[in-house]
Amino acid sequence: MNPAVARLAHGGRRLAYRLRPGRGPTLVFLPGYASDMEGSKATALDAWAEAEARAMLRFDYGGCGISEGRFEDETLATWRDDALAMIDAVVEGPVVLVGSSMGGWLMLLAALARPERVKGLIGVAAAPDFTGWGFTNPQKRRIRYEGRLEEPSPYGDAPTITTRAFWESGEALRLLGDEIAFDGPVRLLHGLEDEEVPWRLALDIAARLRSADVQTLLVKGGDHRLSRAGDIALLLRTAEALLAGPLLETL
């Protein structure tokens, strides 16, 4: 059963979310850029949580999905703050964050901001710092001097839009130049055929995390979305094993 949509007032908008009660720690899914809580990975994880009587939260960032707000007004910082508001106001107790693509960047930022609440991380093609490495110099010049970049999306008819405000926010929140001071268990899943986020980035993230419990799983044939049946099964096994680990099973 799909949990009913509820709303949280935050930042002048009402953010849509679905909260499933159950055993903790609560899984919190962080979607990718311009994505929402109804994606295949989020809904599969939620169905697994229902079957296992696990608590789970899905939500839409401001300007995305069915949350209020205008997409082009949002930045990486506003979406980080949306995630923190969900952790602070909607969820009780410890959480495990599951971040997909840009959600993997937000996952790391949220873990640094709420170390007392965030106990574990699962990244799926995590893409921290993509405002730095994910654009060519001509694209960056267009963003800086024209205020926005509009390009075809591989996932639908609507173009992918990057604003100067979002890009500058991302540049201010880059993480990979230093240690990432998180000590809980981390699992990083990444497809070897990912054409958007280089799989070697997962190794860089793993090396910079302070935690001694970091595992990187590279998926042969996996693309950026990692949404094939086998990829979804891997995500569910990873969540199950992480939650059953010695650091989390007693929380």
Helix axis angle for 76-89 and 102-113, nearest 10°, is 60
Which of 81, 101, 190, 231 is an active site residue?
101
Which of 60, 100, 224, 231 is an active site residue?
224
Answer yes or no: 67 catalytic. no
Answer yes or no: 100 catalytic. no
**DSSP-derived 3-state class of residue 101:** coil
Which of 46, 60, 81, 194 is an active site residue?
194
> What is the spatial distance between Cα 12 and Cα 105, in angstroms, rounded to a whole number?
24
CA atoms within 13 A on the CB side of 98: 26
Please say whether the beta carbons of 65 and 211 come within 8 A: no
> What is the spatial distance between Cα 131 and Cα 135, in angstroms, rounded to a whole number?
7
Answer yes or no: 101 catalytic. yes
**Lookup: tokens for 166:** 């979002």
52 Cβ contact partners less than 8 Å away, ≥ 6 residues apart: 22, 23, 240
Burial of 245 (0-12, 13-18, 19+ CB in 10 A): middle
> What is the spatial distance between Cα 74 and Cα 214, in angstroms, rounded to a whole number?
31
Query: In 3D, which of 94, 89, 135, 112 has the Cα closest to residue 211?
Result: 112
Distance spanning both ends of the chain, measured CA to CA: 26
Residue with the two structure tokens 């001097």: 145
Residue with the two structure tokens 């930045």: 75
Residues annotated as catalytic (active site), given as ranges = 101, 194, 224
